[in-house]
Amino acid sequence: MYKSFQGFMALASVSLSVAQGSFHALVGPNGAGKTTLFNVVTGRVSPDRGQVRFHGRDITGWPTPRVARLGIAISFQRAQPFVSMTVLEAVTLARLGYEGKTLVWGRSLARHREAVERAEAALAKVGLEGYATSPVAQLPLGDLKRLDVAMALVAEPKLLLLDEPLAGLSRAERRKMVTFIGNLLRQEGITLLFTEHDTEAVLALADRITVLHQGRVLAEGSPEEIRQNLEVRQAFLGGNI
């Protein structure tokens, strides 16, 4: 996979394979190319060279809504645009947006009702069912992260991309979130590709870790292998990854 911006190589020869049902962490310092890789997978950015394959199918350059309907969801990260809504409205809108169909008068009510039901089910999965009528603006950050997950889950993804799901949380909240994400996604059989700077969380959650540095793969392996890899440890595990 190659992607350059105005001659700057954001991704150079990056090859990444995520096993079905696994949790795969993408780590590396800021500017390593993690977001660009996410954007390439979800069709927001077209690679200069290389292919994105999903279940054996070449989806390179597919528009984002089509990628979503194939079963790849990305967390909204901060339900910011939705602060004026209730929690249930935000998740319902995420569902309707994912369906992406024009609402046909007469059929739209039934479709809306179904979207609400799916939104309620997603909220129950993340434990926010008691907050359905609360304004998004009133949720504390930890619950907002759960809402992000619900908004992604409502699309019933096979592959979920989470960009720094623990950012901004306290240490105690991060631990809770790691357990929560782990249990929920394993239960749902969802494949996870995530970025995260919290080393402890990455090692706890990931089955496999890819370390990116300046748009290249510096190392890849199991948490144990990455922990033992001196070069990586010195470069990244000393502080943030």
Q: Which residues contribute to the site for ligand ADP (CB under 6 A)?
A: 5, 10, 28, 30-36
Question: Which amino acid, residue 227?
Answer: R
CB 131 within 8 A of CB 139: yes
- Provide, rounded to whole angstroms, the least separation between the CB of residue 223 and ligand ADP: 20
Strand partners, 32: none
- Cβ proximity to ligand ADP: between 38 and 131 the closer is 38
Q: Which helix (H) or strand (E) holds 203?
A: helix 199-205
Strand partners, 3: 11
- Cβ proximity to ligand ADP: between 18 and 87 the closer is 18
Report H helices in 21-86. 34-41, 64-70
- Provide, rounded to whole angstroms, the least separation between the CB of residue 211 and ligand ADP: 11
Alpha-carbon span 61 to 89, nearest angstrom: 31
Of 46, 42, 101, 47, whose CA–CA distance to 73 is shortest?
42
Residue 34 has a CB neighbour count (10 Å cut-off) of 24
- Provide, rounded to whole angstroms, the least separation between the CB of residue 27 and ligand ADP: 9
- Cβ proximity to ligand ADP: between 36 and 229 the closer is 36
- Provide, rounded to whole angstroms, the least separation between the CB of residue 38 and ligand ADP: 8
- Provide, rounded to whole angstroms, the least separation between the CB of residue 119 and ligand ADP: 30
- Cβ proximity to ligand ADP: between 157 and 215 the closer is 215
For residues 104-135, one letter each, b for 16 or more C-beta atoms within 10 angstroms of the residue's C-beta and e for the rest, the string is eeeeeeeeeeebbebbbbbbebbebeebbeee
- Cβ proximity to ligand ADP: between 9 and 203 the closer is 9
- Cβ proximity to ligand ADP: between 16 and 83 the closer is 16
Report H helices in 3-155. 34-41, 64-70, 87-99, 108-125, 141-153
- Provide, rounded to whole angstroms, the least separation between the CB of residue 6 and ligand ADP: 6
Alpha-carbon span 175 to 142, nearest angstrom: 11
- Provide, rounded to whole angstroms, the least separation between the CB of residue 32 and ligand ADP: 4
- Cβ proximity to ligand ADP: between 28 and 157 the closer is 28
